[in-house]
């Protein structure tokens, strides 16, 4: 392939529907989904992708049942801890974007530890969005700009991007959403302005490396004009 996306955004959608199809509890679907995200990150790294931003838990997901929310928080914490040695071995830098202050204390401590122990890694960048929403991200950037009393005439797109949670990262080239849904669902709204969109009918736990290859082939075939 001539064109490999440098930054991919992933919607790992369909975990609960997958579990229902299998006749198992939805919580087990989330577990399989998380494992697939870690594998997906490795596929990205192997193919030359530099950054993966994966949707782990949205601001809207807080509306789910207390049991499911608590399980997802525990799953994220356990997953980060279990994957830490793999992250270090594969030189994966891990960062978390979102409303960190809303998370359980134990998860916040785990995030702080994982980010600290992987911050010098340069082989790949895994960016996990937890309690994240695109509208929140933009409003949060506006609040920071107001707090710092930046003069309006100095505010341009480049400055604004420096106040988003993805500051310092190139905007995503490709957005992949599994699960058959075809929308952005309040994720990286600003950053996705010129991203290529790819929707897969596969439920996320069934999404394989071959499915990923199909997405990359589609991306490679497109002409990105950026309005020109």
Give the model confidence (pLDDT) of 18-35 as tens digits: 999 999 999 999 999 999
Give the model confidence (pLDDT) of 116-136 as tens digits: 999 999 999 999 999 999 999
Which pLDDT does position 226 carry in this prediction?
77
171 is catalytic: no
Alpha helices (runs of H) in 52-196, residue ranges in sequence order: 66-89, 105-118, 134-147, 157-161
Above 90 in pLDDT, residue 223? no
The two three-digit tokens of residue 21, written as one number:
């199809």
Output the pTM of the full model: 0.95
From the list 113, 127, 117, 118, the residue with the least C-alpha distance to 44 is 127
Q: State mean pLDDT over 194-214.
A: 97
Which pLDDT does position 227 carry in this prediction?
76
Q: Which fold has domain 7-132+172-221?
A: Undecaprenyl pyrophosphate synthetase (3.40.1180)
Sheet holding 196-199, edge to edge: 92-97, 124-132, 51-58, 7-11, 174-177, 196-199
213 is catalytic: no
Active-site choice (36, 39, 46, 61)? 61
Above 80 in pLDDT, residue 203? yes
Q: State mean pLDDT over 205-221.
A: 97
Which pLDDT does position 1 carry in this prediction?
74
Contact 176, 215 (CB under 8 A): yes
Q: State mean pLDDT over 207-228.
A: 92
Residue 51's H or E segment, with its range, is strand 51-58
Task: Parse the chain into domains and list their residue ranges.
Answer: 7-132+172-221
Which pLDDT does position 2 carry in this prediction?
86
Which pLDDT does position 193 carry in this prediction?
95
Adjacent-strand bridge partners of 124: 92
């Amino acid at each position: 392939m001539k064109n490999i996306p440098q930054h991919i955004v992933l919607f790992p959608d369909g975990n609960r529907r997958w579990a229902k199809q299998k006749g198992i509890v939805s919580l087990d679907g989330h577990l399989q989904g998380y494992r697939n995200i870690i594998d997906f990150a490795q596929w990205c790294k192997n193919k030359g992708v530099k950054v993966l931003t994966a949707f782990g838990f949205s601001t809207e997901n807080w509306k789910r049942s207390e049991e499911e929310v608590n399980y997802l928080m525990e799953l994220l914490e356990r997953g980060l801890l279990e994957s830490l040695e793999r992250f270090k071995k594969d030189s994966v830098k891990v960062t978390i974007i979102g409303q960190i202050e809303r998370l359980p204390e134990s998860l916040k401590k785990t995030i702080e530890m994982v980010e600290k122990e992987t911050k010098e890694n340069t082989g790949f960048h895994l960016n996990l969005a937890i309690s994240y929403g695109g509208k929140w991200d933009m409003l949060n950037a506006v609040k920071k700009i107001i707090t710092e009393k930046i003069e309006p005439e100095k505010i341009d797109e480049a400055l604004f991007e420096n106040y988003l949670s993805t500051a310092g990262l190139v905007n995503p080239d490709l957005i992949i959403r599994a699960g058959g849904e075809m929308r952005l669902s309040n994720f990286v709204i600003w950053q996705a302005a010129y991203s290529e969109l790819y929707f897969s009918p596969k439920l996320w736990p069934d999404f394989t490396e071959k499915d990923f290859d199909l997405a990359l082939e589609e991306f490679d075939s497109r002409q990105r004009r950026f309005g020109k």
